Chains A and B, each alone.
Chain A
């Protein structure tokens, strides 16, 4: 049996120093009325203005080399930035995917020209990427995708569709996983590649898919004979599966898998401050213990990644537990206070609760469903 372990780790002093700077910045922004804390702000709260401000501060592309507009800070400093932004419920969705996964992926696999073209603007918070993985007929079974590219001269011609692409309507580019050579029997992971597509190209249609709240975050992105220069292929042709899986490791264990409902928890505590009810204390104590544990786990994964290890099973495990916690905050809130969730309420707790409830189904779906994660974990255990 493989032993899974996430050892206790700690943040270096420079990361803690940065935390104070970030807290001051966010307090100033909130005082100036730039934003109000929102649940799930990394999916749905878009602010080009705040993304640019973060870029000016050197807080995007933090870990990337300076020659690509980065700041050569550690991934643990980025960890601190991420958790502070989420705890504040700040609108960070505009730059989120570029900063979190497309940028690092281009650093790993992109050509020099791709890095020069895209990374500096991403780090300024001016260039956004959308994720191009899921398709209408390929969700959990991602390798079954059917979007394809055909080589004609020195161009690739793309046909197909991507779905659940958060923020594609704001994004400038999408990194698309597609098939560049025909499917051979029993080799579904072969023949897949990743190509960068300019979303303003002719033949690209972005169709909104509204959430059940009516909000527009998701899109279906349709490609009809979209021509892309061969220079836009990322990494090696046929290596797209491996590259995408590495992308998911960055995606799974971060603080955004724990903190999507933190603004609700904070507001709940405001309402409960005078409570002396033992049941209230008991529930809050248990919730806080869990939050602390999960945060220690997420930090441990970040540290292992920094040490060059690949804790992919542990990352799946943190996401499974973390997203369950995000939902638990809702149930504890409903248990402890008598409020009626409503997006149009004047009471902040009622608004945050409504947001959390209506966004919660997505927590345990995005980035790999709970069931898929548990399959990965049990496989890792050697079952």
Chain B
């Protein structure tokens, strides 16, 4: 890891550890927007990290931004940091100024496509987007779509012009339905942008979930190890029992595997030589989430199943995020199809050449 990235991660760790106490996360679930948290992240440049300075960001690369998101995942930060990053990343590829406001972005589901129709002086956008994070809390949504002749298009729409039907995921994070009924956008607010490929949009969006999950998984292990050392039964810490030790080791294995997979996918994306790493990492992290949450709750006993214990802040997020931007099965079918089509002799070359090209420390 570079020095700059180390520093960013350290700062984010400090801020989020202090701010994201259980009360704040639970309050957010009840609808209280943590403005103070957003402000401090803004002041420290965290909301525009990984966005080039030329377009108003604080510089650094996509890898830097994603390592911050990993910290956000670890502390269950109840703010649209991922969405703001995706939106600003979209803007930066079209030369548009980054926003320091909290943003959301869509579509989130592949089936939800928008229709863009050219009219005099601008465009009309029409469509229904499901599961839009934090739509009710932010002013603007960044949109990614395609024109009728297949060019990529990036724009923003004020959410006050849209109909918002509220919804939440299992973690109580806002996942709203946003309905756009022929909303007019001026030409100057639209970037017809052939640089951003659709596949990149989905990959970077999926990467945000991969790193959020990698961060949350890390915290689940910490909580489980602590609990095993603190909780005593039969006259000794439950962590002294082989049955518990073995479970924690299995959990640690999945978590380290997920961390390596997440890192490798991020580096592959940044190197510009990505093949299937995002698919492979999402499958790994998703499968790990299922197993790790099961073990964590088993180890924590009834206490971890209560509202009082913070474990559920992480486990409910993992149960939500593993399905966002494609379930393991959806990605596995996509990957399996390619592996079969490439032929048996090309599997090993795919595994070995789908490597990052730049060494990171």
Contacts and interface: CB of A to CB of B under 8 A. Distances in A.
Interface of A: 1, 4-12, 19, 83, 87, 262, 265-270, 272-273, 275, 278, 280-286, 288-297, 300, 314, 317, 320-321, 371, 373-375, 377-378, 381-383
B344 A273 contact: yes
B249 A320 contact: yes
8 contacts: A280-B340, A288-B280, A289-B261, A292-B277, A314-B256, A317-B252, A381-B225, A382-B229
Contacts of A373: 249
B257 interface: yes
Contact of B332 (A8, A19, A273, A282): A282
Report the 4 A-B pairs with minimum CB-CB distance, sorted nearest first. Answer: A285-B332, A281-B336, A285-B336, A269-B344
Nearest to A307: B361
Contact of B339 (A5, A262, A269, A382): A269
The listed residue with most A CB atoms (<10 A of its CB), out of B255, B332, B345, B361, is B332
B248 to A, nearest CB: 5
A193 B18 CA distance: 52
B340 A273 contact: yes
Contacts of A377: 248-249, 252-253
B357 interface: yes
A26 B266 CA distance: 33
B121 interface: no
B355 A10 contact: yes
Contact of A11 (B228, B242, B332, B355): B355
B306 interface: no
Contact of B256 (A4, A10, A83, A273): A4
The main secondary structure of chain A at its interface with chain B is helix
Given A269-B339, A383-B248, A282 B329 contact: yes
Nearest to A324: B253
A12 B356 CA distance: 10
B22 to A, nearest CB: 20
A265 B332 contact: no
Contacts of A83: 352
A4 B252 contact: yes
Nearest to A298: B260
Interface residues of B, number: 64
Contacts of A1: 221-222, 225-226
A6 B255 CA distance: 10
The listed residue with most A CB atoms (<10 A of its CB), out of B260, B267, B351, is B260
A8 B336 contact: no
A227 to B, nearest CB: 43
B263 interface: yes
A272 B340 contact: yes
B1 A289 contact: no
B359 interface: yes
B352 A296 contact: no
Interface string B239-251: 1101011101110
B248 A288 contact: no
Contacts of A321: 253-254, 257
Contacts of A283: 332, 336
A378 B354 CA distance: 32
A11 B358 CA distance: 9
A74 to B, nearest CB: 13
A148 to B, nearest CB: 31
A290 B288 CA distance: 11
B229 A383 contact: yes
Given A8-B266, A296-B261, A383-B244, A288 B249 contact: no
A281 B333 contact: yes
A269 B352 contact: no
B216 to A, nearest CB: 15
Nearest to B354: A292
B46 to A, nearest CB: 22
Contacts of A285: 279, 283, 331-337, 339
A307 B109 CA distance: 43
